[in-house]
């Protein structure tokens, strides 16, 4: 019997979890039904018994857990049986492995090699090769079959390196692809048995990268160190085969002016390999595009940062404009964002892929912030001359999201915490703000990479880690980088278990069993108890996500007005605000605050031709979230300039930095279509406006 990918992944969740896990939590994390999970658990337990290991057990009222003995034994031999021969590859994994063989083992790129590596039939592989040919062709590479030799690849070395970079990013984007990582590592270093089997050469490259960090004055993410070490080993292999990259002279001159070039020289000199200058520049490109845990900007020249600073300032300005919020610590956000925008810029410029296993999760959890981030990315796209992919935009979403969710709370510190996270600055900040807003009195004193955490001892009450850490003196709570409602509930429960001195409540299942026994005869006690455990696990979570109303809940018959004209822009704001004043969503002083803002700051509320969104800070008179819409047949002017005229005045009354974002994202989608704007201006009645709003939401 073997474990397929899904069950191997399910077992790995238990293997790395320090606490029991409920089936509800498993269903949320794996996107499987509870019925499927129960079936998979039976299969996993059967497999564990064949390996002479203790099966997964249920702890009443807590959830399911893997006994410590089984955990330790699985850790010992996971690189052999658990991750390799007990594992069935997914289609995506098989495709990646075939591409890696073609790119890295050209002499062995035969149908037989593909079949042995992927366990696929000849016919299936032939279909995969057909798709790969097209993918390579788009990248400027030609894949062909040479009789008696196998598959061969021709084309520029630069295109081949870009493909390899994408493969490395892909395998590091999937934490459960350990066996694929093993195979690719063996292709680059045949002497390596598995990924965890560190060769002397790989250890040396890693140590040299740590020295290069000092040269650069930054700390790379742990994941980035691993990717770069493979990149450098791959470059060395290509040099041995006399396959070199060519960098245009003008670009080389630019690269040589950077700190990263000096670090790349240090790496090449230490490795005692004859790196041509173009290859040193290629290493420089990869260093410039590397994700960082922290960066020291004092080492960069003004020339290096001036353009990116301007991009970031424009992005922040537009984000505030589109989201109708004001960042209190704008300077902090600017520095934080540059730390990420700098490597993003170089990745886009040099066509380097990014490993982002959180991209889908970010887009699902924060769709409104992602939508707003995508809008402001145009400044970076104009600067670099390329489209920003969603994977890159998703990480920048975390930076904005972290600042949006920061709440100014003066709470006495009860717990000092560390965060150990290897996903970089943006993710660490988002996780920090989520945890500090969730737990009263929690103060995150620092965020660290795994490497930084292992270097020295730290004093704290609790550690939150996105990676498995063996608990020592300080309790550890393992968390994902993006907290769902279920994860938030689990964190609170764990904090209560660790620090709540009150005696725990009697187990609810046992209490229910006692009640049932008093009034009925139980024939199958164990079975009833199991059913009750599963039933109680499905109760509503303690943590409620902030409810973000839809646009059609805020703009209704009562809050939409169609008028011919008003005297001036001040009257426009007053008239547009009337429905919200009548609903007691805002006080009259909020209207005055909006007018004062325009007088002091200028017509910033005109976000696009014909559209103005007046707003002010919540504390100036907002009682509850509200939005109102005024259409004027004759435009009103917020300045003498033609671009500051508006037919549509939409008043926003926000209560915080988040609750209004879903409705606002839907509004911007509605207004980004010029045809919709024209239809709103010429609308004959409120129903026509409501119909357009509903079409946008449903579309």
- Report, as an integer, the average pLDDT of 630-655: 93
Same domain, 450 and 387: no
Instruction: Give the highest mean pLDDT range of 74-83, 189-198, 529-538, 640-649.
Output: 640-649
Same domain, 463 and 376: no
CATH value at residue 321: 1.10.1790.10
325-381 pLDDT, tens per residue?
888 888 888 888 888 888 899 999 988 877 666 788 888 888 899 999 999 999 999
Residue 156 neighbours by CB distance under 10 Å: 13
Domain boundary at 85, 106, 140, which? Answer: 85
Decide if 257 is inside a domain. no
- Cβ neighbours of residue 223 under 8 Å, at least 6 residues apart? 172, 291, 355, 422, 423
- Report, as an integer, the average pLDDT of 292-302: 64
Decide if 256 is inside a domain. no
Q: How far is CA 158 from each of CA 1, 104, 155, 238, rounded to the nearest angstrom?
A: 44, 14, 9, 12
Decide if 395 is inside a domain. yes
Same domain, 419 and 392: no
Domain boundary at 382, 404, 426, which? Answer: 404
Same domain, 444 and 374: no
Decide if 47 is inside a domain. yes
pLDDT at residue 539 tops 50: no
CA dist., res. 151 & res. 569, Å (int): 70
Same domain, 636 and 670: yes
Beta carbons of 479 and 493 less than 8 angstroms apart: no
Query: What is the domain range of residue 321?
Result: 301-404
Same domain, 562 and 687: yes
Same domain, 395 and 469: no
The residue assigned the tokens 């292709």 is: 187
Nearest residue to 190 (alpha-carbon basis) of 101, 92, 283, 125: 101
Decide if 12 is inside a domain. yes
- The pLDDT score that the predictor gives to residue 462 is 93
CATH value at residue 64: 1.10.10.10
Q: How far is CA 621 from each of CA 229, 404, 581, 584, 585, rounded to the nearest angstrom?
A: 56, 20, 10, 10, 9
* Paired tokens of 7: 């069950």
Decide if 242 is inside a domain. no
Same domain, 434 and 400: no
Q: What is the pTM of this model?
A: 0.71
Instruction: Give the highest mean pLDDT range of 84-93, 129-138, 509-518.
Output: 129-138
Percent with pLDDT over 90 in the chain:
35
- The pLDDT score that the predictor gives to residue 98 is 93
Domain boundary at 34, 59, 85, which? Answer: 85
- Report, as an integer, the average pLDDT of 418-438: 79
Alpha helices, H only, 148-199: 157-172, 178-188
Same domain, 390 and 462: no
pLDDT band at 505 (very low <50, low <70, confident <90, very high): very low
CA dist., res. 529 & res. 5, Å (int): 31
Nearest residue to 449 (alpha-carbon basis) of 300, 333, 293, 570: 293
The total number of structural domains that make up the chain? 4
Beta carbons of 593 and 576 less than 8 angstroms apart: no
**Lowest-pLDDT choice from 53-57, 307-311, 424-428:** 424-428
- Report, as an integer, the average pLDDT of 116-130: 89
Same domain, 400 and 309: yes
Same domain, 22 and 52: yes
- Report, as an integer, the average pLDDT of 501-527: 72
56-108 pLDDT, tens per residue?
988 777 788 888 888 877 764 444 444 443 456 778 888 999 999 999 887 77
Decide if 378 is inside a domain. yes
Residue 516 neighbours by CB distance under 10 Å: 14
- The pLDDT score that the predictor gives to residue 80 is 40
CATH value at residue 688: 3.40.930.10
Decide if 618 is inside a domain. yes
Same domain, 558 and 448: no
């Amino acid at each position: 019997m073997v474990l397929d990918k899904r069950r191997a992944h399910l077992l790995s969740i238990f293997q790395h979890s320090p606490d029991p896990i409920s089936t509800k939590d498993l269903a949320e994390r794996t996107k499987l039904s509870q019925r499927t999970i129960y079936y998979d658990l039976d299969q996993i337990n059967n497999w564990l018994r064949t390996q002479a290991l203790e099966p997964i057990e249920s702890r009443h009222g807590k959830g399911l857990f893997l006994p410590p003995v089984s955990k330790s034994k699985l850790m010992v031999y996971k690189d052999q049986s658990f991750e390799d021969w007990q594992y069935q590859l997914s289609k995506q994994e098989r495709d990646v492995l075939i591409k890696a063989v073609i790119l890295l083992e050209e002499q062995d790129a035969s149908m037989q090699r593909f079949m042995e590596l992927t366990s696929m039939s000849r016919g299936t592989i032939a279909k995969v090769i057909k798709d790969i040919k097209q993918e390579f062709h788009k990248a400027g590479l030609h894949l062909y079959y040479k009789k008696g030799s196998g598959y061969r690849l021709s084309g520029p070395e630069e295109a081949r390196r870009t493909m390899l970079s994408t493969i490395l990013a892909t395998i590091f984007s999937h934490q459960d692809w350990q066996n694929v990582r093993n195979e690719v590592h063996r292709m680059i270093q045949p002497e390596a048995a598995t990924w965890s089997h560190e060769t002397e050469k790989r250890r040396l490259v890693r140590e040299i990268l740590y020295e290069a960090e000092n040269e650069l004055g930054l700390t790379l993410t742990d994941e980035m160190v691993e990717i770069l070490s493979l990149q450098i080993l791959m470059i060395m292999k290509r040099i041995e085969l006399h396959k070199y990259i060519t960098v245009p002279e003008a670009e080389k001159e630019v690269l040589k002016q950077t700190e990263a070039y000096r670090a790349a020289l240090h790496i090449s000199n230490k490795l005692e390999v004859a790196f041509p200058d173009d290859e040193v520049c290629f290493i420089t490109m990869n260093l410039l595009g590397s994700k960082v845990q922290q960066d020291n900007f004092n080492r960069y020249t003004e020339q290096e940062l001036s353009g990116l600073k301007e991009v970031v300032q424009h992005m922040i300005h537009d984000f505030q404009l589109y989201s109708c919020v004001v960042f209190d610590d704008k300077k902090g956000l600017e520095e934080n964002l540059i730390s990420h925008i700098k490597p993003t810029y170089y990745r886009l410029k040099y066509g380097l892929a990014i490993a982002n296993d959180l991209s889908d999760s970010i887009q699902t959890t924060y769709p409104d912030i992602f939508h707003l981030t995508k809008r402001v990315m145009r400044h970076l796209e104009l600067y670099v001359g390329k489209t920003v992919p969603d994977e890159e935009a998703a990480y920048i979403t975390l930076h904005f999201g972290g600042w949006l969710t920061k709440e100014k709370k003066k709470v006495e510190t009860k717990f000092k915490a560390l965060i150990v996270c290897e996903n970089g600055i943006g993710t660490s900040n988002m996780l920090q703000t989520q945890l500090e807003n969730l737990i009263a009195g929690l103060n995150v004193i620092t965020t660290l990479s795994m490497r930084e955490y292992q270097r020295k001892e730290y004093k704290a009450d609790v550690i939150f880690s996105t990676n498995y850490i063996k608990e020592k003196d300080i309790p550890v709570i393992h968390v994902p980088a993006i907290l769902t409602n279920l994860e938030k509930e689990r964190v609170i429960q764990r904090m209560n278990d660790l620090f709540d001195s009150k005696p725990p409540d009697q187990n609810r299942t046992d209490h229910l069993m006692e009640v049932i026994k008093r009034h009925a005869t139980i024939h199958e006690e164990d079975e009833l108890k199991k059913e009750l455990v599963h039933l109680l696990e499905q109760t509503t979570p303690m943590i409620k996500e902030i409810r973000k109303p839809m646009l059609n809940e805020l703009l209704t018959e009562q809050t939409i007005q169609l008028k011919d004209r008003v005297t001036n822009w001040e009257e426009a704001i007053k008239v547009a605000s009337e429905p919200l004043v009548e609903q007691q969503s805002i006080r009259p002083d909020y209207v005055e605050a909006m007018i004062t803002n325009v007088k002091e700051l200028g017509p910033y509320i005109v976000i696009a031709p014909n559209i103005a969104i007046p707003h002010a800070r919540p504390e100036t008179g907002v009682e509850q979230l509200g939005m109102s819409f005024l259409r004027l047949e004759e435009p009103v002017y917020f300045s003498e300039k033609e671009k500051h005229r508006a037919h549509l005045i939409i008043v926003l009354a926000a209560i915080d930095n988040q609750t209004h974002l879903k409705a606002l994202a839907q509004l911007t989608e509605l207004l980004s279509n010029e045809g919709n704007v024209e239809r709103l201006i010429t609308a004959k009645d409120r129903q026509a406006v409501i119909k357009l709003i509903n079409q946008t939401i449903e579309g």
